[in-house]
Chain A
Amino acid sequence: NAGVTQTPKFQVLKTGQSMTLQCAQDMNHEYMSWYRQDPGMGLRLIHYSVGAGITDQGEVPNGYNVSRSTTEDFPLRLLSAAPSQTSVYFCASSYSIASGGQETQYFGPGTRLLVL
């Protein structure tokens, strides 16, 4: 198992550009989530999904879009990047209780994004 993978590892964007951060997991997890980490702020939830076709907003959803067309993938889209979106982005996945899995999130290695 590769676990949770994120691409790219590092990206530089100009203000106004769009891009998609990729997240994939091969553990057949129902739940997937996106967080951003900024110095002194901890991790903040952006969006999460409890299954294919189902997404919901977290604490800081503005400026980000998500969709979940498959169980394995949960891409995060920045439609018009802003310097305030400079951050480290972590994707995570986990089982649901119904599937009998443990209530533990598995985090990816992160994507470091710089918006100029």
Chain B
Amino acid sequence: AQSVTQPDIHITVSEGASLELRCNYSYGATPYLFWYVQSPGQGLQLLLKYFSGDTLVQGIKGFEAEFKRSQSSFNLRKPSVHWSDAAEYFCAVGPWYALNFGKGTSLLVTP
């Protein structure tokens, strides 16, 4: 069975600080991994995805994620957070048309 765990429900960072959001997955085969962002009252926007190849994936808005098979992790990172990054972040695994989402991490950015 496939599953996704996002250990941190809430994270607070200062504007300009670095960010890492954790994601651990369980999947029987080579995973398709995704990170989505959702601003309050909005729909979902794809930040980045990993299927194969280079384990460091670059996405939009300056985000990147690293796939580590040995740790079953796909953590999302950003070197310098902007106030506009405050949102809910979801990690997801599975075939792209039938995703299994984590419960999300809510990011608060302080001045």
Contacts and interface: CB of A to CB of B under 8 A. Distances in A.
A binds B: yes
Given A103-B32, A104-B49, A110-B43, A42 B96 contact: no
Contact of A105 (B90, B97, B103): B97
Contacts of B60: none
Contacts of B56: none
A90 B97 contact: no
A107 B90 contact: no
A76 B78 CA distance: 37
Interface in A13-54: 31-33, 35, 40-45, 48, 50
Nearest to A59: B100
A40 B96 contact: no
Interface residues of B, number: 18
B44 interface: yes
Q: Which of A35, A43, A96, A108 has the most CB of B within 10 A?
A: A43
B29 interface: no
A110 B38 CA distance: 12
Interface of B: 9, 32, 43-44, 46, 49, 51, 90, 92, 96-104
Interface of A: 31-33, 35, 40-45, 48, 50, 56, 58-59, 90, 92, 94, 96, 103-105, 107-110
